[in-house]
Structure 1
Amino acid sequence: MTYPIYQVDAFTDRVFGGNPAAVMPLEQWLPDETLLALAGENNLSETAFFLRLPENEEADFHIRWFTPGFEVPLCGHATLASAWVLFNKLGWAKDSIRFQSKSGPLGVKQTDDGWLVLDFPNLSFEQRETPPLIREALPGFSETAYFVPNDTNYMLVLDNETAVRGAQPDLGKLRELGNQGLIVTARGDESDFVSRYFAPGAGIDEDPVTGSIHSVLVPYWAEVLGKTSLDARQVSKRGGVLRCELNGERVSIAGQAAFFMEGFIQL
């Protein structure tokens, strides 16, 4: 059997920027071990798989995301990439797409200027003592962290953008966290806030641009800065730009996408 595959760079307007995602439309679900093996073979932060749902369903597609090591409950950049493929390669004629996912209903709409706007949940977080493994991996920073129970992440707020850019965590220590990841963030010099994201235990040493963590970053910084519309930058080597807005229990995360390649997988 042959299966189509696309690769799209998300949260960027140019190839080789943003975060590359593999996108595979399916007509029926393959076994989970096959989906995980495909994600491992692609060796990107995430591979998104989706299939069309019947017309009487409340969503248009069912979407799932896999890192090279795990299935994850939420992924922004691969959802954005999937929407780009549907709009630009698969002839989706409506101006919005409804996805069913492990994190509930998600939406994507296309703006007149070519940006894609994700409708994501507002994820709760709670303040905790920074776990010893994180203190060892990134010494000298805050004794308190924020834990995101619905996305298995910890978040550290650093003093400034320079500290975020210069952070060099011990990835071996972070790997011991398993599928839990670490967000580091601070106020931005030329944006409202910046961030980076590390999840080596899930097969991602550093994710270039992570849409899903903005379901936490946006409500956090909206409260700190006293504003609901936020300009964000993920300051990894590849870098990414996100336009965000807090909408009560939902978060809008907008980005651009650049098409890289398409082909077929033979199984």
Structure 2
Amino acid sequence: MRIRIVDAFTDRPFAGNPAGVLLLDALPDGTWAFPDDRWLQRVATEVNHAETAFAHRLPEGGGADWALRWFTPATEVNLCGHATLATAHVLHSTGAHPGQVRFATRSGVLVATPEADGSLTLDFPTAPLTEVEVPDGVAETLGARPLAAFDTGPNVGDLLVVLDDEKTVHALAPGHRALGAHSARGIIATAEAEDPSRGYDFVSRCFFPNVGIAEDPVTGSAHTALAPYWSGRLGRPRLTGLQASPRSGRVGTELRGERTLLSGRAVTVIDGELHARPDQAVGSQSTLPASSA
């Protein structure tokens, strides 16, 4: 089977967020199904990027075109933006599904639409934000005192914390393990952009120790929480976020009530062949709890 590494939310290699993408072959009888979960997890662990996406075709005439699942090196997740963008990029660029594609996922049907400028737009559920008290220990672990904190709901599963300024976000050097005590997945740290003329309105960094990711390079799902917060603060439905990880990447957001549009580009960096097929023994592997990325 062909396996690809795609850098998402960037227009150049070695930036943005890399994702593995595996378009699964049909079964011998011509039908489509996901292989054993243990095999999927082993492949994701082998790829060892923040997420690996697995997709297979669905019968024509249904509510979705492809079934899609995402795995970190440690566990399956409920929602992942960059690996969805990467999968849509592969389907579009290879001609496997050149137009708009509907993905059946744990988070419902997610739609990816190719745009005339070469970007892709994802239609995702908006994360419900609930303001909470800043948990004890967060300021010490982050090395910065948040101005406010928000629970992002079960699909995203993060604690969103708002910091004083962009420089503070860039300078964070948190104790990653300790961050995991405060939410299901981890922490999104954000602040308003110092200079919007640089082409972005807010900055963020994302730390997800509970799913085996110390710092995620660019997180689509986090922007389903960042979009409603910053659109409410800045009074505009369309914004651009810079995720200020070492690889960096930009995510366009458009708030549409219960849905958030995420836009970005992607580039295929590696295109190869996976030799370890699903019918090969994978041994035992423990089941880990699901989260989001």
| Runs of 5+ consecutive residues of structure 1 not aligned to the other structure | none
What is the aligned-residue RMSD (CA, Å)? Answer: 1.5
Distance 1:192 1:31 in 2: 43
The one-letter code matched in structure 1 to 2:64 is A
Partners of 2:190 and 2:37 in 1: CA distance: 34
Q: 1:75 to 1:36 in 2, by over 3 A?
A: same
Q: 1:178 to 1:251 in 2, by over 3 A?
A: closer
Alignment of 1:21-170 (within 5 A): 21-26=19-24, 27=26, 28-93=33-98, 95-142=99-146, 144-150=148-154, 151-170=156-175
Q: Which moved more, 1:124-133 or 1:9-18?
A: 124-133
2:239 equivalent to 1:230: yes
Residue deviations 1:20-42 (CA, integer Å, cap 9, x gap): 00001113211111111111111
Is there any run of 5+ residues in structure 2 with no aligned partner, and where?
27-32, 277-293
1:4 counterpart (2, 5, 12): 2
Compute the TM-score of the two structures, normalised by the length of structure 1. Answer: 0.94
Assess if the C-alpha contact under 8 Å between 1:6 and 1:262 holds in 2.
Answer: yes
Q: Tell whether the 8 Å contact from 2:53 to 2:84 is kept in structure 1 after alignment.
A: yes
Q: Give the structure with the higher percent strand.
A: 1
Provide TM-score, normalisation by structure 2.
0.86
Q: Distance in 1 between matches of 2:21 and 2:56?
A: 11
- The separation in 2 between residues aligned to 1:159 and 1:40, in whole angstroms, is 37
Q: 1:9 is aligned with what amino acid?
A: D
Partner of 1:16: 14
The 8 Å contact of residues 129 and 143 in structure 1, kept in 2 or not, is answered as: no
Identity %: 42
The 8 Å contact of residues 160 and 187 in structure 2, kept in 1 or not, is answered as yes
Displacement of 1:133 after TM fit?
A: 4.7
> What is the deviation of 1:142?
2.3
Relative to structure 1, the CA distance from residue 25 to residue 179 in structure 2 (aligned partners, 3 Å threshold; closer, same or farther) is farther
Q: Is the Cα contact below 8 Å between 1:12 and 1:257 reproduced in 2?
A: yes
Q: Contact (CA 8 Å) 1:232, 1:243: kept in 2 or not? A: yes
Match of 1:207 in 2: 216
- Aligned AA (2:8): A
Q: Is the 1:13–1:256 Cα contact (8 Å) retained in structure 2?
A: yes
